[in-house]
Structure 1
Amino acid sequence: MIRMLLRVLGNQYAGPVRRTVALMTTTAVLEGLSYALLVPVLRELFGSNPAAAWPWLIAFAAAVAVYAVLRYLSDLAGFRAGTTLLRGTYHRLGDHLARLPIGWYGPDRVGEVSVLASRGVLEAMSVIAHLLAPFVAASVTPLTIVVVLLAFNWQLGLAALVAVPLVAAVQVWTGRAMATADAERHERDQDAAGRVIEYLQAQPVLRAGGRTVERFDLLDDSLRGIQRASRRSALSALPGIVGLTLTVQAMFTVLLAMGAYLALGRSIGAAEVLAILVLAARCAEPLLSLADIGGQLRSARAQLTRLDALLRTEPLPEPADPIQPHHHDLEFDAVTFRHGNRTVIDGLTLTVPQGQRVAIVGPSGAGKSTLLQLLARFHEVSKGAVRVGGVDVRDIDTSTLMAQIAIVFQNVYLFDGTIEDNIRLGRPEATDAEVRAAATAARLDEVIERLPGGWTADVGEGGALLSGGERQRVSIARALLKNAPIVLLDEVTSALDPINEAAVHQGIERLMAGRTVVLVAHRMHTVRTADRVVFLDNGRIVEDGTHHDLLDRGGRYADFWNISTAVSSGHTDRT
């Protein structure tokens, strides 16, 4: 388990962890040896000259004092190592998650990552801080006492030694019996975490449907699943706990009977029998605690295994010799992209000259947004190549590629903080004047003026305290501040009211000026300013040309345009 822990954390933590384990082991051995001094102490106390016990009592007191100091140092080392490992794990996990491809973050990952990043990491890292010292003491101290018994009386030592494989066998059997139940419990926890998040996010829908009082069945089912899994886990652990208790009690009884037999045969004295029983009782206590410690260690090991699997997930590979693109033209060269069993982009070839605006149009599911994600290397292509400035995006390191691209998504996420904080994400080192200039260009200044607190107004988690149009203006200001030569727009006005749409359009026009632009359009009137229009369907280019040329052809694009404008006119008439 320690090897897995170091594999998860990295070799830089190997030294402190090994020193902590060595200190804990030394402490446990000294504890066992200190109890061994009880044999001569009791022998002298019950002998003809009780005063002869003083030297042994002093030695016992000294051993206990040294043990107390070592125990304090080992516990302190465990807590410090645990804190260091916890901080290191969160840093490594955060860095790794930031390097995983965006396609990895499917809906099923929400519950998995949230459980692992919260309870999972804490449970895994608690091994060093809270579990390792008691586990080492429960294992090493009884073994030390068994060695003492062997040195004192080989018959009693061998009898005690028999308990070692029996206790180990019970622990292994219990672990195997609980493995299935523990795995099921984890799956139920993960599912429930996802359902809780879903329940919170779905509150508007539930309330709109009049479901404010009755329970949310999907969440209730997942919670009942946790209850059933917990019950099965407890029942599967019960035989191991009972078996371990019976084994320890049986061995104590055997030692008592054997000690009495040897005492009656005058092989040993009554004082030695009493001392042996004290040692056996001291062995029993930590051995019985192994059941509880073992269960916690199995759970922590399971979390470590999941954490290890997550950290072993291959991130997008970084080039060994990255190339810096010097131009800002874009190219899709026979690109194919598959997601699961579905081909989203199928052998697509497209070039976007530097400074040109290209609009991507097509029905839902045609692969429009996927093209933008492939340009930003959120996914790896299955075949072909995506190039920026003539350089394959796989040959450009991530930081350089992201510096070339500004992205404005349809669904904007803002971090809980001020408007200024969210704008500065585009370029943290920007001056105050540059931040305010970007806000003004995005027509965000008028929003800031009417908000209580102005620039210091809190936007709430996800930007919940702002409207959709206001969030879009923040996103555009962020992109303007970044001042990247390539702009990717995933239709940002499809759900805005006319006033916000007009303001956002003005900000977009400023953002696109003089840049290479790929625009995914859902509202057809936004394509008029594009230099070219590409009509996409089933991951393939069906038509390619200017807006007016495609209308004159009377093909798929013209039909799409006519339907869209008719629907838009109908909505306008009704309003």
Structure 2
Amino acid sequence: MIRMLLRVLGHEYAQPIRRTVALMTTTAIAEGLSYALLVPVLRALFGSTPGDAWPSLIAFGAVVAVYAALRYYSDLSGFRVGIALLRGMYQRLGGHLARLPIGWYSARRVGEVSVLASEGVLQAMSVIAHLLAPFISACVTPLTIVAVMLAFNWQMGVAALVAAPVVAAIQIWTGRSMAAADVERAERGQEATGRVIEYLQAQPVLRAGGRTVERFRLLDDSLREVQRASRRSILSALSGAVGLTLVVQTMFTVLLVLGAYLALGGSIGAAEVLAILVLAARCADPLLSLSDIGGKVRNARAELARLDTVLRTEPLPEAAEPIQPVGHGLEFESVTFKHGDRTVFDDVSLSVPEGQRLAVVGPSGAGKSTLLQLLARFYDVDAGAVRVGGVDVRAINTEVLMEQIAIVFQEVYLFDGTIEENVRLGRPDADEADVRAAATAARLDEVIERLPGGWATNVGEGGALLSGGERQRVSIARALLKNAPIVLLDEVTSALDPVNEAAVHEGIERLMAGRTVVMVAHRLRTVQRADHIVFLDGGRIVEEGSHEELLRRSGRYAEFWNMSLTPAASE
């Protein structure tokens, strides 16, 4: 467990963890030794001179005081190290997730990461703060007490010692029998989390279909599977808990019988028998707690293993010797890219000279948005090369690449904060004048003027408190503030009303001025002013040229253009 923890977090945490484990072990030994002084105390109290118990009582009090101090410092150390580990795990997990390719985030993995980033991390990191001290105490304190019993009477000590391998065997057997049940329960829990997310996202569709009262079958099925898996896990743990209880009770009964036999034979005094039975009773509590603590430790270990699996997922590789791009031209050279079993691009080549605008059109599923994602290196190509400024994006440092590119997506995500904070994400160190100028250019100032809070208005999680057009204006202002030489636009006006569409178009025109632009659009009127247009279909470029050239050819682009004019003509 500790080795896996260090592998996941890094060996810089090895020293404080080892120091905490040593302190907790010393505390557990001190606890066991303190009970050893009960033997001379009880012997004196039940002897002919009870007053002789005072020295042993004083010694017992002193040892208990030492134990209390050790326990305080070991618990404090556990909490401090646990907090440090928790902070380190969140930092490492967050940094790693930010470097994983976008294609890794399937719907299933989003649910898995949601569980891991909340419940999973807390459960795994709670080992040091909450579980390690009780676990060490449950293992070490009884062994120390058995050693004390051996020192006072070897027969009863050996009888108690025989239980140790039996307890260990039960723990090992219980852990192995529960391993499969724990894995199944975790998988069912992650699946259920994904179904809950799906259910929440599907609310507009369900309500539009009049199914607001009807139960969601997929979610119900997954929750029933969680219930079945939890029941199997509990049944697996129950046999181990019952077995452990029987062993502890049997051990105590054997010691009682053996003590009575030795006392009647005169081999040991009644006071010693009573003291050893008190010690044996003190062994019972931590041993019985092993079942519960062991289960929690196994669960934490399972979460840690899942975290380890995520952290072992290889991010997109960084170049050992990054190359600085020269210029801002873009190029696809014989690019082949597969998404799962589906070939999205098959030997695609195109180029966008610096300062020019490329429009990408085509039917849904043709790979238009994927083309933008490859330029931003959200994925790596399977064959060929994607170049920015004449350099393969795989040879450019990720931070340098992102500095060159501003992206405006169709679905804008805003962070739960103020409008100004979301705009400043484009360039956090920008001065106030630049922020205000970007807002004016994006016509975001019109939105800010009518909001009661102005710049300090909170946008809500995901920008839920703003309309779609308002979110797009924030996104364009953010891109303008970034002032990147390359702009990628993905269907930015496809779902806007005419007023917001006009405002967004004005902001987009200012954003594109003097920059290298690649735009994806369904509304073909937005691409007329592009320097070059490519029509994607079936993983290939089937047509390319200027707007006028493509119309003269009367091919696929012209067909799409005529279809886009039909609704307007009918109106």
On whether the aligned pair clears a TM of 0.5, the verdict is yes
Could you tell me which residue of structure 2 aligns to residue 95 of structure 1? 95
Letter in 2 for 1:21: V
Could you tell me which residue of structure 2 aligns to residue 290 of structure 1? 290
- In 1, Cα distance between equivalents of 2:514 and 2:553: 30
Q: How do 1:246-325 residues align onto structure 2 when only pairs under 5 Å count? A: 246-325=246-325
Root-mean-square deviation (Å): 1.4
Q: How do 1:15-34 residues align onto structure 2 when only pairs under 5 Å count? A: 15-34=15-34
Could you tell me which residue of structure 2 aligns to residue 347 of structure 1? 347
Pairwise CA distance, 1:562: 2.3
Pairwise CA distance, 1:20: 0.7
Letter in 1 for 2:428: P
Could you tell me which residue of structure 1 aligns to residue 544 of structure 2? 544
Pairwise CA distance, 1:299: 0.7
Could you tell me which residue of structure 2 aligns to residue 117 of structure 1? 117
Could you tell me which residue of structure 2 aligns to residue 215 of structure 1? 215
Once the two structures are overlaid, the 10-residue window that deviates more, 526-535 or 546-555, is 546-555
Pairwise CA distance, 1:207: 2.1
Please list the CA deviations of residues 19-51 of structure 1 after superposition, one character each: whole Å capped at 9, or x if unmatched: 111000000011111111222222222223322
Please list the CA deviations of residues 299-348 of structure 1 after superposition, one character each: whole Å capped at 9, or x if unmatched: 11111111111111111122222111121011111111111111111111
Letter in 2 for 1:555: G
Are 1:56 and 2:53 an aligned pair? no
Q: How do 1:401-420 residues align onto structure 2 when only pairs under 5 Å count? A: 401-420=401-420
Could you tell me which residue of structure 1 aligns to residue 147 of structure 2? 147
Unmatched 5+ residue regions in structure 2? none
- In 2, Cα distance between equivalents of 1:261 and 1:301: 45
Q: How do 1:382-401 residues align onto structure 2 when only pairs under 5 Å count? A: 382-401=382-401
- In 1, Cα distance between equivalents of 2:44 and 2:416: 72
Could you tell me which residue of structure 2 aligns to residue 226 of structure 1? 226
Secondary structure (helix, strand or coil) at the match of 1:123 reads helix
Letter in 2 for 1:506: E
Could you tell me which residue of structure 2 aligns to residue 440 of structure 1? 440
- In 2, Cα distance between equivalents of 1:481 and 1:404: 13
Secondary structure (helix, strand or coil) at the match of 1:351 reads strand
Pairwise CA distance, 1:523: 1.1
- In 1, Cα distance between equivalents of 2:321 and 2:90: 29
Secondary structure (helix, strand or coil) at the match of 2:107 reads coil
Q: How do 1:170-189 residues align onto structure 2 when only pairs under 5 Å count? A: 170-189=170-189
Once the two structures are overlaid, the 10-residue window that deviates more, 520-529 or 287-296, is 520-529
Please list the CA deviations of residues 30-76 of structure 1 after superposition, one character each: whole Å capped at 9, or x if unmatched: 11111112222222222233222222221111111100110111111
Please list the CA deviations of residues 60-94 of structure 1 after superposition, one character each: whole Å capped at 9, or x if unmatched: 11111100110111111111111111111111111
Are 1:569 and 2:563 an aligned pair? no
Secondary structure (helix, strand or coil) at the match of 2:519 reads strand
CA contact (8 A) 1:524 1:565 kept: no
Please list the CA deviations of residues 218-242 of structure 1 after superposition, one character each: whole Å capped at 9, or x if unmatched: 3333322222222222112111110
Pairwise CA distance, 1:289: 0.5
- TM-score with structure 1 setting the length: 0.97
Could you tell me which residue of structure 2 aligns to residue 366 of structure 1? 366
Please list the CA deviations of residues 366-424 of structure 1 after superposition, one character each: whole Å capped at 9, or x if unmatched: 11111110110101111111111111111111111000000011111111222111111
Pairwise CA distance, 1:8: 1.6
Could you tell me which residue of structure 2 aligns to residue 377 of structure 1? 377
Pairwise CA distance, 1:158: 1.9
- In 2, Cα distance between equivalents of 1:565 and 1:161: 89
- In 2, Cα distance between equivalents of 1:557 and 1:322: 39
Letter in 1 for 2:539: G
Please list the CA deviations of residues 198-223 of structure 1 after superposition, one character each: whole Å capped at 9, or x if unmatched: 33333322222222333333333332
Pairwise CA distance, 1:297: 0.6
Pairwise CA distance, 1:278: 0.9
Are 1:457 and 2:465 an aligned pair? no
- In 2, Cα distance between equivalents of 1:536 and 1:564: 17
Letter in 2 for 1:458: N
Could you tell me which residue of structure 2 aligns to residue 502 of structure 1? 502
Secondary structure (helix, strand or coil) at the match of 1:344 reads strand
- In 2, Cα distance between equivalents of 1:227 and 1:56: 55
Could you tell me which residue of structure 2 aligns to residue 203 of structure 1? 203
Work out the number of aligned pairs and report it. Answer: 571
Secondary structure (helix, strand or coil) at the match of 1:108 reads helix
- In 2, Cα distance between equivalents of 1:508 and 1:158: 84
Pairwise CA distance, 1:159: 1.6
Could you tell me which residue of structure 1 aligns to residue 161 of structure 2? 161
Please list the CA deviations of residues 416-466 of structure 1 after superposition, one character each: whole Å capped at 9, or x if unmatched: 222111111111111111111111111111122222222222222211122
CA contact (8 A) 1:185 1:230 kept: yes
Secondary structure (helix, strand or coil) at the match of 1:316 reads coil
Could you tell me which residue of structure 1 aligns to residue 531 of structure 2? 531
- In 2, Cα distance between equivalents of 1:460 and 1:204: 19
- In 1, Cα distance between equivalents of 2:443 and 2:548: 31
Letter in 1 for 2:190: Q
CA contact (8 A) 1:329 1:353 kept: yes
- In 2, Cα distance between equivalents of 1:23 and 1:9: 21
Q: Which runs of 4+ in 1 moved over 6 A?
A: none
- In 2, Cα distance between equivalents of 1:249 and 1:380: 62
Letter in 1 for 2:123: E
- In 2, Cα distance between equivalents of 1:313 and 1:257: 58
Are 1:86 and 2:86 an aligned pair? yes
Letter in 1 for 2:568: S
- In 1, Cα distance between equivalents of 2:161 and 2:539: 70
Letter in 2 for 1:156: M
Secondary structure (helix, strand or coil) at the match of 2:199 reads helix
CA contact (8 A) 1:487 1:512 kept: yes
- In 1, Cα distance between equivalents of 2:14 and 2:54: 44
Could you tell me which residue of structure 2 aligns to residue 133 of structure 1? 133
- In 1, Cα distance between equivalents of 2:553 and 2:219: 53
- In 2, Cα distance between equivalents of 1:334 and 1:161: 73
CA contact (8 A) 1:101 1:316 kept: yes
Unmatched 5+ residue regions in structure 1? none
CA contact (8 A) 1:328 1:486 kept: yes
Could you tell me which residue of structure 1 aligns to residue 521 of structure 2? 521
Secondary structure (helix, strand or coil) at the match of 1:345 reads strand
Could you tell me which residue of structure 1 aligns to residue 556 of structure 2? 556
Once the two structures are overlaid, the 10-residue window that deviates more, 151-160 or 252-261, is 151-160
Could you tell me which residue of structure 1 aligns to residue 426 of structure 2? 426
Q: How do 1:463-502 residues align onto structure 2 when only pairs under 5 Å count? A: 463-502=463-502
Once the two structures are overlaid, the 10-residue window that deviates more, 40-49 or 472-481, is 40-49
- In 1, Cα distance between equivalents of 2:112 and 2:366: 30
Please list the CA deviations of residues 140-169 of structure 1 after superposition, one character each: whole Å capped at 9, or x if unmatched: 000111122222222222221111111111
Letter in 1 for 2:251: M
- In 1, Cα distance between equivalents of 2:223 and 2:498: 44
